[in-house]
Structure formats: C-alpha cells, structure tokens
Amino acid sequence: MRYSISLGLALGCSIAESSRFARKNYFYPDLAKNYQISQYDEPIAFEGEVEVELDDGTLVRIPIERAHMEEDAGKLTHVGGATGRIQGAEYSLVDYNRAGVPLVEIVTKPIFGAEHRAPELARAYVGTIRDIVRSLGVSDARMERGNLRCDANVSLRPRGQEKLGTRTETKNVNSLRSVERAVRYEIQRQAAILAGGGTIIQETRHWHEDTGTTSAGRPKSDADDYRYFPEPDLLPVVPSKELIAELRAALPESPAVFRRRLQTEYGFTDGEFRDILNANLLVEMEQTVAAGAAPAQARKWWLGEILRIANARGVEAGTLISPFHVSELIALVESGRLTDRLGRQVLEGVVAGEGSPDEVVKARGLAVVSDDAALLAAIDEALASQPDVLAKIRDGKVQAAGAVIGAVMKAMRGQADAARVRELVLERAQG
C-alpha cells in the first residue's frame, strides 16, 4: 500500500482518501480462487501526469487515468497446438508462483496525436515508468523477467475525426524495444486493414518477438460480466494525511529532474549523456560517482569494457558488477597501481565472482611493478638486444623508444606503467 501511494505520488496522481478492493469473478485456472482481487471503481491513485523525453529531447506530457492495486495471476503455458495458445493446445501448465503477488496497474488516458512518433513515445513512456519504479525502490522493473509488463492499446482514426477508432490491446511485450516494434506493427496492420476498407476487431492481440508480428487472441467484449463486488476479506484502504505527506516528502527526485541535474554536474554533452541513458546505466553512473570516481572515468568504464562484456553475454551491464566495485577499480587505475590493461583483467576477475577489485589484484598478482630497479633491469636487457635505439633517441627520434617500451612491457607481462617505462628509457638515453 505504501509503495502504491508512493508510485501514485510520483505519477502526479491524487491519492484517494478511501479506496476499496473488489473481486473480479471469472473461471480460469490462472488464479486458484477463480476471482482476482483488484480495485474497480475506487482506485488508490487517479488523475496524474508524467513527462516523457523522446530521443531528440522533445518533452511530451502523458496523462495518467489511474493507478490501482491488484494481485497477479499465475502464468499459463499451453503445450501442443500451433501457436502456444489455449485453443488447440494438448494440455496447459500453470505456474502459481506469482499468483497473488501484489502489483500496480497504471492506466494512461488515450494519448492523441503522437502519429508517426507513437511507437517511440510508447517506448519512452514505458522507459520512464521503469525509471520511476526503480528510483522508488518498488521493483527492479525488469521487463524480461515480467516484473514490468505493458499492454499497448492502439487505435487509428482519420485526421480531423473526433471519435476514436476501434482499439486493440497487445500483450506479451517483453522489452522496451518490443514496445516500440509492437506498436509500430499494430499501427501498420490496422492502417492496411482500414485502407482496404476493412474494420478493426476489438480484441486482445499477442506479440511474437521472433516474427515481429501480432496475432489475434481472445475477442475483448465490453459485455464480459465479472460480477465485481467489494472484497469482503479486505478492509478499505484509508491512508492518513500524515502518511501521504510522509511518503510525499520521501519521494526521490523525478527521473527527468535527476537526469538534468546529473548531466549538469557531470558536464557531459547531450550526446555523451544520451549514451548513458540508452545503455540504461544512469543509476549505476550516479552510484559510481557517489562512491568517489570521476564522472569521465565512470562513463569510460561503464560504456566501455563493462558494456562490451554485457553485450557479449546478452545481459544488462548493471547486473555484472556493483558501482562500488567500479569505483574501487577506477581508484586503483588512477593511483597507478593498475594500468588500463591490468584494470580490464581485474574487471574480468570481479565479473567472474572472484571478489572485490582489491581481492582480485591480490589473488591474481596483478599489481603494477613500480620498482624502478626491476624496470631498469628489464630496460637494459631490451637495450642490449636493440643497441641502435639509444642512438636514435639521442638523434631526436624519440618514437624509437616504442620498441624498447613494448619489449619491457612484454617482459613485465604488462604489469608495468608504460609511461614510467618511457620516462626511464629517455633518462637512459640522456645518459
């Protein structure tokens, strides 16, 4: 209930002085009780607005109709048959693990006039909701795990017509990218039907990630009779004004404000900052900087090596390593104890679960050799096999030092600071 109120407040909603749960009665095996506890005519939060930023920086206000609490239903898997649907399936499996888990359903009002940007806006809106939910600590809001889900309603109408066209509701959209794709597909499908003189059937449609298409599900009729009545096992929710004030005071800044503040603080260009947003790493960035790292370094590591590993493994970068460890790693590099190259090896170790950066450095013996005597010995050995180098340097061809530095670094198995090696080589040349 506290999470729902916080979320309602973050969506700019009014919080109901009293809201009630209702029972939605229907026979279907996704809930063992054959009714769903939901909120019907008295949602806990209503009439709000969220600001959504499109890729080019355009701001769009999305009106929120309501946010209500309900329990999740179980997950049905239909086995056999052609399409994974219940019709024609040989049998169905029911996973009740999520049945009864509380969730909040946020309903927008119809969003008019997005036109060709509707798919992008839909994605940006769901992304904003995800950021809000995460910033409140309500949920990880990972779409691929189903803890953030989206039913996208789409309808078309001729320019100038007031009445909305018949809508379809697309389910099974499991990533931000899919939201955009599914809405685009559904717009094109409906447009083709309407252009051919056909009519749209009001129905639930099912998104197929693999084919990038939707297929018809259950016809959605307004005549479904769920026999709603007030849930007698639960008391009405009557939050005190004090509780609402307390939760309002505890709200984190909105993701939009948060973003603007961080961009200014970090001194990033729009482009540099958008890369972070697109990689969904803003929270990680913020925590890494808060732990002591310089913004530029934090950005370099997160968008560089960490994102590369994440993409290679097909996981979210934020799941690989904690911001605290990234900050520790950056500090090791900045202090000269690690080179960039060694830092990447330490990162591998942390990602592999070998411990904190410090622990990986110790376990793998990866610290930079900072003993000048050891470095000089290696330099002299390299110079001995390349006797012409010193003369070239003395003739002003400083780049000749590169061959010696490379040999030294190889001899030290990379665990040396190349800049220091260069300094020492030049000192030797000056005699």
Q: In the complex, which residues of this chain contact other proteins (CB under 8 A)?
A: 23, 25, 27, 29, 32-35, 92, 94, 96, 225, 227-229, 232-235
Please tell me what DSSP assigns to residue 416. Answer: B
User: Secondary structure of the chain: what % helix, strand, coil (to 5)?
Assistant: 45, 20, 35
Nearer to other proteins, 28 or 278 (CB): 28
Nearer to other proteins, 223 or 384 (CB): 223
Q: What is the dihedral of CA 311, 313, 316, 317, to 10 degrees?
A: -70
Q: In the bound complex, what is the minimum distance in angstroms from residue 145's beta carbon to other proteins?
A: 25
Nearer to other proteins, 95 or 381 (CB): 95
Nearer to other proteins, 198 or 229 (CB): 229
CB 426: neighbour CB atoms within 10 A? 12
Strand order in the sheet with 22-25: 35-38, 22-25, 229-230
Nearer to other proteins, 1 or 419 (CB): 1
Nearer to other proteins, 27 or 112 (CB): 27
Long-range residue pairs from 142-146, CB within 8 A, at least 24 positions apart, any chain: 142/316, 143/173, 143/174, 143/175, 143/176, 143/178, 144/174, 144/175, 146/75, 146/98, 146/174
Q: In the bound complex, what is the minimum distance in angstroms from residue 223's beta carbon to other proteins?
A: 8
Nearer to other proteins, 38 or 178 (CB): 38
Q: In the bound complex, what is the minimum distance in angstroms from residue 98's beta carbon to other proteins?
A: 15
Rg from Cα positions in the chain: 29
Nearer to other proteins, 34 or 188 (CB): 34
Q: In the bound complex, what is the minimum distance in angstroms from residue 330's beta carbon to other proteins?
A: 47
Cβ atoms 254, 10 nearer than 8 A: yes
Instruction: List the one residue out of 152, 165, 156 whose CA is nearest residue 205.
Output: 152
HEC states along 205-257?
A: EEEECCCCEEEEEEECCCCCCCCCEECCCCCCECCCHHHHHHHHHCCCCCHHH
Nearer to other proteins, 88 or 137 (CB): 88
Q: In the bound complex, what is the minimum distance in angstroms from residue 80's beta carbon to other proteins?
A: 14
Q: In the bound complex, what is the minimum distance in angstroms from residue 126's beta carbon to other proteins?
A: 32
Extract the tokens encoding 108: 């927008």
Nearer to other proteins, 89 or 411 (CB): 89
Q: In the bound complex, what is the minimum distance in angstroms from residue 30's beta carbon to other proteins?
A: 10
For residue 213, the cross-strand partners are 208
CB 83: neighbour CB atoms within 10 A? 14
Strand order in the sheet with 213-219: 150-154, 168-173, 203-208, 213-219
Q: In the bound complex, what is the minimum distance in angstroms from residue 234's beta carbon to other proteins?
A: 5
Q: In the bound complex, what is the minimum distance in angstroms from residue 225's beta carbon to other proteins?
A: 5
Q: What's the CA gap between 426 and 93, in Å, rounded?
A: 73
Q: In the bound complex, what is the minimum distance in angstroms from residue 86's beta carbon to other proteins?
A: 9
Give the CA distances from residue 423 to residues 73, 386, 410, in Å, rounded to whole numbers and listed in that order: 67, 18, 17
- DSSP letter string, 280-293: T-HHHHHHHHHTT-
Cβ atoms 2, 67 nearer than 8 A: no
Nearer to other proteins, 101 or 250 (CB): 101
Q: What's the CA gap between 21 and 42, in Å, rounded?
A: 8
Extract the tokens encoding 147: 């803890």
Q: In the bound complex, what is the minimum distance in angstroms from residue 230's beta carbon to other proteins?
A: 9
